Amino acid sequence: MQEKTQGRGVWSTKAGFILAAAGSAIGLGNIWRFPYVTGQNGGAAFVLIYILCVICIGLPVMIAELSIGRRSQLNPVGAFRKLAPGSPWVAVGMIGVATGIGILSYYSVVAGWTVGYFFKTVAGDFSRFITSDTSGQIFNSFVRNPTAAIGFLFLFLVLTAAVVMGGVAKGIERWSRILMPALFILLILLTIRSVTLPNAGEGLSFYLKPDFSKITAGTIGKALGQALFSLSLGMGAMITYGSYIARKENIPVAAGYVCLFDTLIAIIAGLMTFPALFAMGLRPDASGPGLVFVLLPTIFAKMPGGFIFGAGFFLLLTLAALTSTISLLEVAVSYMVDEWKWKRLRAVVLMSGLAFIIGIPSALSQGASQWLSSLPLVHLSFLDLANVLLGNYSLTVGAFLIAIFVAYKWGIKSTRQEIEAEGNVFHFGRIWSFLIRFICPVAILIIFIYIIITGDFF
Ligand code: PHE
């Protein structure tokens, strides 16, 4: 990224931007969240709805967010203020900033587990004879230890803060170039091992043969939430990243690539997970947030050189999580730097400190504190509750409002002008405008009403 005169960067190349946006999108959402949410929500039918949500809602909203960002050249709050002066629309930006810090808090807890698992693998904690039972015990005693849970949360936030301090660009663009392909190759290798395990067929059919009787209002809401979470939409991350794209770039093409890569990685992560899960005798709906952490060591144990694969995988996953937390933190930081004229250093320290404090209850909610592990009324852990409220509902409300804003406030015409700047062609522009005006808002509204009527919130 080169610095422009007013101090706002621009991604140095088109590939650079796609890599950075893909870096934000691809992370724990694909490899940790997608498999366990799919497992809890019935498998193949959920995956189909998920893909539908990516195409009909995710992609159009991503185009909308990137356009808002590039037009305004600002953080989400400033962007709404600039495009709709004196209106309450700035609130959408503010909700986005708050949601970003909230997601950062519990996301960093799970990213901390990844760091911990890297060290555990290197230390030789997983023997070649590990079973799903012993692996489950190792996971439980790890996350139950408050010092480790909080320590790794802290460590991960320090890493995130260090990168964001130096300005987003330099790091991400360069890292993503090596990181993404490496992660992809490793995922493919693990998938090959997983699908060739004995009894893999049962897992494949759970993952690929839809059973629509398992679909409820809540399932559809979770598929949509997962799509938005995985694509980093609904809280302004893509507005912020869009503010760094040069005007000569074609936004819809870039958005298309990001959605494609992100979805591909999630689908492959599922293909890696379910055959192994059934082969190891685990139940897809019972494991929750611990799923991949329990499962992966058992796959590594069954690979020649599994130690190397294991260490490599957790290292790459840590870096993939880092390119996502960078974007979560950057939203709040760019807001404070632009709007409050804070120094970058101050904004970074305060916001990552805040995420650390809010992250503590999530870190303690996996067994360290009984109360936080199963909250009264909802019977969810604090981490699960944050994950549903912020990672699903807050992003869904955000995406709904962004679609309404672009379609009816800023306007289809102005958006298209921005997209078609400098002679860019907007392929499928009419389909996009249909989706953003009608399908996105109406579908989200129907899903919400359906969830409220059936009371299927969690
Ligand atoms: N998309 C990221 C992931 O899949 C998480 C994220 C959500 C990042 C929202 C930014 C905004 O890991």
Ligand 1 atom index nearest CA of 328: 10
10: which strand partners?
2
CA distance 21 to 11: 10
Type of residue found at 374: S
2: which strand partners?
10
CA distances from 23 to 247, 314, 319, 362 (A): 21, 16, 9, 24
Measure 172 CA to ligand 1 centroid, in angstroms.
15
- The reply to whether ligand 1 has any atom less than 6 angstroms from the CB of 229 is yes
Would you call 252 exposed, middle or buried from its count of C-beta atoms within 10 A (0-12, 13-18, 19+)?
Answer: buried
- The reply to whether ligand 1 has any atom less than 6 angstroms from the CB of 25 is yes
**CATH number among 1.20.1740.10, 3.40.1160.10, 3.30.2320.20, 3.90.79.10, domain 14-454:** 1.20.1740.10
- The reply to whether ligand 1 has any atom less than 6 angstroms from the CB of 392 is no
Residues 6+ apart with CB under 8 A from 81: 74, 89, 90, 93
Q: Rounded to 5 degrees, what angle do the CA atoms 267, 447, 441 make?
A: 95
In the chain, count of helices (H) and strands (E)? Answer: 23, 2
Q: Where are the domains of the chain?
A: 14-454
Helix 168-195 × helix 291-301 angle, to 10°: 60
Type of residue found at 375: L
- The reply to whether ligand 1 has any atom less than 6 angstroms from the CB of 266 is no
- The reply to whether ligand 1 has any atom less than 6 angstroms from the CB of 28 is yes
Element housing 419 (H / E)? helix 412-419
- The reply to whether ligand 1 has any atom less than 6 angstroms from the CB of 390 is no
Closest CA to 373 of 285, 278, 290, 283: 290
Ligand 1 atom index nearest CA of 28: 12
Question: pLDDT tens track of the chain, all 458 residues?
Answer: 444 434 466 776 777 788 888 989 999 999 999 999 999 999 999 999 999 999 999 999 999 999 999 999 999 999 999 999 999 999 999 999 999 999 999 999 999 999 999 999 999 999 888 888 999 999 999 999 999 999 999 999 999 999 888 766 665 666 777 788 888 999 999 999 999 998 899 999 999 999 999 888 889 999 999 999 999 999 999 999 999 888 889 999 999 999 999 999 999 999 999 999 999 988 888 778 999 999 999 999 988 888 898 999 999 999 999 999 999 999 999 999 999 999 999 999 999 999 999 999 999 999 989 999 999 888 899 999 999 999 999 999 999 999 999 999 999 999 999 999 999 999 999 999 999 999 999 999 999 888 888 877 78
Residues 6+ apart with CB under 8 A from 5: none
Which residue, by CA, sits nearest to atom 9 of ligand 1?
232
Ligand 1 atom index nearest CA of 32: 12
CA distance 69 to 259: 18
CA distance 138 to 151: 18
Type of residue found at 144: R
- The reply to whether ligand 1 has any atom less than 6 angstroms from the CB of 44 is no
Tokens representing 316 are 């790459």
- The reply to whether ligand 1 has any atom less than 6 angstroms from the CB of 108 is no
